[in-house]
Structure 1
Amino acid sequence: MRKHLTIILASAAAVAALTTAAPVQATGTAGGGRSMVGTLTLGQNQSLGGTNWSFTESNGNLSSTGSEDRASSLQVTGTSAWVVYQHDANGGRAYCVLPGQSIPDLHHRWWQFGDTISSVQRLIGPNCFNFPMFLSNTL
């Protein structure tokens, strides 16, 4: 019984460590701060051209990073899916992006989501659950 309880407590501690909020990382290049859990990179221009901002944690207000309403492309690396939102505090239209997925042109007529991302949320795990998804190939 104690052995099972120890295993359960260790598992709970590992999950807590993965979900603990940490300061958002926003960098000027896509190469900085990659995370195995998941990194969302927003690109100022199509196909991640121009300035890039990388995030390893959720951020409910991108205005402090300089990336609010400026993304024209995105890419997700690592093992977590991400949700991008039209408004601050995870409001408005939302799309989920799967691990390994890239959207080279958020302005495309299918999405019409370029220059509108104001908050981002890292999901626990690789699934989008009930969030609408971008249907796109990788870059």
Structure 2
Amino acid sequence: MAGLYLYDDSWFEGERRVYTYTNESIGFSDRASALENNDWSAWVVYDDRNFQDRRYCIRGWETVNVLGAPQWKFNDKISSVKRLNSRSCAGYPTFY
């Protein structure tokens, strides 16, 4: 299924939550330790419930195995997600 996959353990282990075609505050708040974008569109993940504060963009078909890596320090931080209407991260900071 196309969408953004959030996992509660690094390396895509543990419970998984899928988000598709919506912009929403997430019920998986502050639990994600890995990300997988199985969508052609880019997604933005935020550490605030209201699409505020620190954020990163993940392009289509990218993965982030360990959100707690020193360069991001984003483990257990994601509280809202937004699907962009393009493949581009359009000025948002990216993981890679």
Note the alpha carbon deviations across 1:33-77, whole angstroms, 9 max, x for none.
Answer: x13xxx100000001100000000334321xx2x10000000001
Higher relative contact order (CA 8 A, sep 6+): 2
1:119 CA displacement: 0.1
1:112 CA displacement: 0.1
State whether residues 60 and 118 of structure 1, in contact with CA within 8 Å, keep that contact through their aligned partners in structure 2.
no
Corresponding residue number in structure 1 for 2:79: 118
Equivalent position amino acid for 2:94 in 1 = M
Corresponding residue number in structure 2 for 1:15: none
User: Which segments of structure 1 move beyond 3 Å, counting only runs of 4 or more?
Assistant: none
Corresponding residue number in structure 1 for 2:17: 53
Equivalent position amino acid for 2:35 in 1 = L
Equivalent position amino acid for 2:43 in 1 = W
Where do 1:17-96 residues align within 5 Å? 34-35=1-2, 39-62=3-26, 65=27, 67-96=28-57
Q: Which runs of 5+ in 2 are unaligned?
A: none
TM-score by length of 1: 0.67
TM-score by length of 2: 0.95
Q: Percent identity?
A: 33
Instruction: Give me the CA root mean square deviation.
Output: 0.9
Provide the C-alpha distance between the structure 2 equivalents of 1:106 and 1:58, rounded to a whole number of angstroms.
22
Which entry has the higher C-alpha Rg, 1 or 2?
1
Q: Which runs of 5+ in 1 are unaligned?
A: 1-33
